[in-house]
């Protein structure tokens, strides 16, 4: 039974119909499938988990009333400064705390000898209860974004980063390593002039020959980058349909054969990545149900190897990614991890049994997309 599963909001990736189409999509341009959202104001007291970043430091959530002390001089409510180790204190055994690190705290105690009631403040203990994944308020960092862009993030008083807009991307930028395909001037069906996006996030010139779409995709270098290729499922390459759930797939009856293709996704980075893999409608293609699964670097050649997939076998997808509930995706809990410098194999197949009487139900072009979700 096919199902449909939709998760949290993401950018919708829709293929552009026309003579030329772009295999790589900007993470911040008009083809953006992700990017920053505008989160709400964190709670007054630091929570146990990292609160969402805001669009700018000090921004208030318009949906909430302003704090009752808004507008007052912050020094009025700041309270006395924390004790300085070695200075005198009036109440022996009294413990004072101060903030430290990423919304953590550390303590000092009033210590004394003899019968006198006072003493001196001890050194502070270690910083504890810091916010997991938090940052130190006031610190800033610059990170890569989009296609060869950069953005600055500033740590707020809540120990979470407020991220500025991505700047510095080239005009008509592209994802490094992605391939642009144009069928203009190609007399043979499903062949294209191709050009590759350089490390500067700009395309070179189209090649002189018309070739089939690449069967290998290199991921982009920043979170949100999308690279793509065209998969052509034909009646001349069919196999018994896979079902079940990885890593214990099953094979349907021998008579149920479906068109399929294997593709490679390479991670050229020095860090492992997590990616979403999903089908969308191809330029000039039509929508039909698909199945996706992932394997290691080697292409399966036996039924035993085919059933031992890593993620999938999904005949459903996140339609916010795919654009149509018939297309499959490997996303969220089924997202694929690729080790540093590593490669994975993707099985992309039609769900429906091939029928010569109605080939459009299982054959044709599909756009396979790989979106970088996390760089470890």
Is residue 349 one of the residues assigned to a domain? yes
* pLDDT tens profile 37-46: 334 344 444 4
Residue 254: per-residue pLDDT: 75
Which range is least confidently modeled, 134-138, 159-163, 248-252?
Answer: 248-252
For the chain, how many structural domains are there in total? 1
What are the tokens at 58?
A: 């000090």
At 2, the pLDDT band (50, 70, 90 cuts) reads low
* pLDDT tens profile 90-134: 999 999 999 999 999 999 999 998 777 889 999 999 999 999 999
Of 312 and 67, the structure prediction assigns the larger pLDDT to 312
pLDDT reading at 1 higher than 60: no
Is residue 31 one of the residues assigned to a domain? no
The answer to whether the CB of 312 falls within 8 A of the CB of 259 is: no
Distance CA 255, CA 148 (A): 50
Percent with pLDDT over 90 in the chain? 70
Instruction: Give the mean model confidence (pLDDT) for residues 70-86.
Output: 66
Residue 352: per-residue pLDDT: 94
pLDDT reading at 10 higher than 90: no
* pLDDT tens profile 314-344: 888 899 999 999 999 999 999 999 999 999 9
Is residue 238 one of the residues assigned to a domain? yes
Q: Give SS3 for 319.
A: helix
pLDDT reading at 255 higher than 80: no
Is residue 17 one of the residues assigned to a domain? no
Distance CA 120, CA 114 (A): 13
CA proximity to 288, closest of 353, 352, 232:
352
Is residue 100 one of the residues assigned to a domain? no
At 77, the pLDDT band (50, 70, 90 cuts) reads low
Longest CA span, the chain:
100
Domain extent, residue 298, equals 215-375
Instruction: Give the mean model confidence (pLDDT) for residues 260-289.
Output: 95
* Alpha carbon distance, N-terminus to C-terminus of the chain: 35
Question: Which residue in the block uniquely carries the two structure tokens 């101060």?
Answer: 98
Q: Residue 267 belongs to a domain with what CATH number?
A: 2.60.120
Is residue 235 one of the residues assigned to a domain? yes
pTM assigned to the model: 0.69
Distance CA 156, CA 135 (A): 8
* pLDDT tens profile 294-311: 999 999 999 999 999 999
Instruction: Give the mean model confidence (pLDDT) for residues 177-190.
Output: 92
Is residue 326 one of the residues assigned to a domain? yes
pLDDT reading at 47 higher than 80: no
Is residue 72 one of the residues assigned to a domain? no
Instruction: Give the mean model confidence (pLDDT) for residues 134-158.
Output: 93
Which DSSP string corresponds to 168-227? -PPTT---TT-EEEE-TT--STT-BEEEEB-TTS-B-PPPSS-BPPPSEEEPPSSTT-EE
| 149-155 β-sheet, strand order | 140-145, 149-155, 161-163
pLDDT reading at 16 higher than 80: no
CA proximity to 226, closest of 259, 273, 285, 291:
273
Residue 24: per-residue pLDDT: 53
Residue 78: per-residue pLDDT: 61
Instruction: Give the mean model confidence (pLDDT) for residues 186-212.
Output: 94
Residue 321: per-residue pLDDT: 95
Residue 115: per-residue pLDDT: 77
The answer to whether the CB of 145 falls within 8 A of the CB of 27 is: yes
């Amino acid at each position: 039974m096919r199902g449909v599963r939709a998760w949290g909001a993401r950018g919708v990736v829709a293929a552009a119909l026309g003579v030329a189409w772009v295999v790589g999509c900007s993470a911040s341009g008009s083809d953006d499938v992700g990017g920053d959202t505008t989160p709400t104001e964190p709670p007054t007291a630091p929570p146990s988990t990292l609160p969402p970043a805001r669009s700018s430091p000090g921004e208030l959530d318009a949906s909430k009333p302003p704090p009752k002390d808004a507008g007052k001089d912050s020094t009025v409510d700041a309270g006395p400064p924390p004790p300085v180790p070695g200075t005198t204190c009036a109440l022996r055994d009294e413990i004072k705390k101060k903030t430290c690190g990423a919304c953590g705290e550390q303590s000092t105690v009033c210590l004394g000898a003899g019968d006198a009631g006072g003493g001196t403040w001890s050194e502070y203990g270690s910083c504890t209860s810091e916010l997991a994944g938090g940052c130190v308020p006031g610190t800033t960092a610059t990170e890569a974004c989009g296609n060869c862009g950069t953005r600055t993030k500033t740590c707020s008083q809540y120990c979470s980063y407020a991220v500025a807009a991505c700047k510095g991307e080239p005009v008509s930028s592209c994802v490094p390593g992605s391939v642009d395909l144009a069928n203009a001037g190609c007399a043979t069906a499903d062949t294209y002039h191709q050009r590759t996006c350089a490390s500067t996030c700009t395309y070179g010139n189209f090649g002189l020959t018309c070739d089939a779409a690449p069967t290998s995709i290199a991921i982009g270098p920043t979170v949100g980058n999308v690279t793509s290729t065209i998969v052509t499922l034909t009646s001349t390459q069919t196999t018994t349909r896979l079902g079940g759930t990885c890593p214990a797939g099953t094979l349907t009856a021998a008579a149920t054969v479906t068109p399929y293709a294997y593709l490679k996704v390479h991670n050229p980075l020095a860090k492992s990545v997590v990616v979403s893999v999903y089908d969308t409608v191809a330029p000039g293609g039509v929508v039909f149900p698909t199945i996706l699964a992932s394997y290691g670097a080697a292409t399966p050649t036996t039924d035993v190897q085919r059933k031992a997939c890593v993620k999938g076998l999904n005949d459903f997808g996140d339609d916010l990614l795919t654009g149509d509930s018939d297309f499959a995706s490997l996303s969220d809990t089924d997202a694929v991890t690729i080790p540093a410098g590593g490669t994975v194999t993707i099985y992309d197949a039609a769900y429906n049994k091939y029928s010569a009487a109605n080939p459009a139900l299982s054959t044709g072009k599909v756009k396979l997309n790989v979106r970088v979700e996390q760089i470890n």
